[in-house]
Amino acid sequence: MEQSSNNIRIRNWVEAGGRSLKDAECNRWYMDFANARLLPVLAASPLLAGDELRQGAVALALYFRDVIARSGGWHTFAQGYRARYGRTLPFYGVADSYASDEVNAEDVAFVLWTVKSRRARSPREFPSCCSPFEGELLRLARSVFALMDEDFEKAPVDDCRSADWLMAASALSRPRSPLPEAGPETRLSRDARRCLDYSRGEPLLYFADYPRLRAFFTEVLGWEASASGGLMEDLADERAFVVYANAKGMLLAPGVGYCFASGRNESYDASRAVRQGYELVCRPGACPFDLLKYGMSQGLLPDVQLPVSDGKRLLLDNWDFLARYYLGDYYEGD
């Protein structure tokens, strides 16, 4: 492979780190570090390929730059994560030698995880997910850390602040709203009240297919079909519906019932939940967020897991962060 095809150029650097870095005198040093030091090590690893090589080199060089500058996107993320969760990093415990103003192998591993775990750009795309403990990822993190540690005293301080290149600050600062639970004194919409009366107070109702959902709409909720007989016909080919009745009203989610473990849910499919359930947390639009919150809080999603080794524990321990990272505006979105 010709390294020149992946060389970091000023355009790549500015696109990732923000226009404030465009005229910084330190750009050349960090771009040279990315091209001459990082790219050969990354290219020698089977972990990264194609565009990931350039993306990885840029992200790691920006991390190095931010640690030296003690500012920028990395520090915004690290401070926001610590304030939100009271821990240093997602996934990783940190050694006693960990220092926030120095480079750390755990940080490098996490940056590599973000390169391999890409967010979907639209609800039609699927995210990718890498194990944060994949052997080659940890080995590569140690190699990159050694390069940074070797050049730590040589790296110049850049006074320009990088953008939020790793994760938007708003994604971590956004508060998580309490569930819209319906109490005895809650004023409910007509549809929500009829749902709860029908289910004898159970917030979730399950419908295996469209004909049964349609019958519920017409016979229980009293909805009228159009003159042509249609009622939400765009859902006719969907299955495994979940209806969530709460203080906000009635929420309808198609195609997610296979994940919800309940004796009242005939669509529940544990094997499919193992294979595809992570999409509820990681794919924008796959599941309304209030329903996801309710399912996680009530233990109704026992088989949802990341598609990696030890994926169930990783998702259970980190699901709120993963949702913030992957879902973007869909986190707490309507």
Looking at residue 34, the DSSP 8-state letter turns out to be: I
Check residue 25 and give its pLDDT.
83
Nearest residue to 160 (alpha-carbon basis) of 259, 70, 246, 91 = 70
Check residue 3 and give its pLDDT.
43
Check residue 333 and give its pLDDT.
77
* DSSP-assigned letters across all residues of 109-159: HHHHHHHHSPPPSSTTS------TT-HHHHHHHHHHHHHHHHHTTTPPP--
Cα–Cα distance measured from residue 323 to residue 99, given in angstroms and rounded to the nearest whole number: 27
Rg over CA atoms, the chain: 24
Check residue 6 and give its pLDDT.
77
Nearest residue to 265 (alpha-carbon basis) of 312, 305, 207 = 207
Determine how β-strand 204-209 pairs with β-strand 239-246.
Answer: antiparallel
Check residue 2 and give its pLDDT.
43
Residues pairing with 252 in the sheet: 243
pTM of the model: 0.93
CA angle 100, 101, 105 (to 5 degrees): 60
Cα–Cα distance measured from residue 62 to residue 209, given in angstroms and rounded to the nearest whole number: 49
Check residue 226 and give its pLDDT.
60
User: What tens-digit pLDDT sequence spans the chain (334 residues)?
Assistant: 344 567 889 899 999 999 888 877 888 999 999 999 999 999 999 999 999 999 999 999 999 999 999 999 999 999 999 999 999 999 999 999 999 999 999 999 999 999 999 998 777 788 999 999 999 999 999 999 999 999 999 999 988 999 999 999 999 999 999 999 888 889 999 999 999 999 999 999 999 999 999 999 999 999 987 655 568 889 999 999 999 999 999 999 999 999 999 999 999 999 999 999 999 999 999 999 999 999 999 999 999 999 999 999 999 999 999 999 999 999 997 6
Helix (H), strand (E) counts: the chain: 14, 3
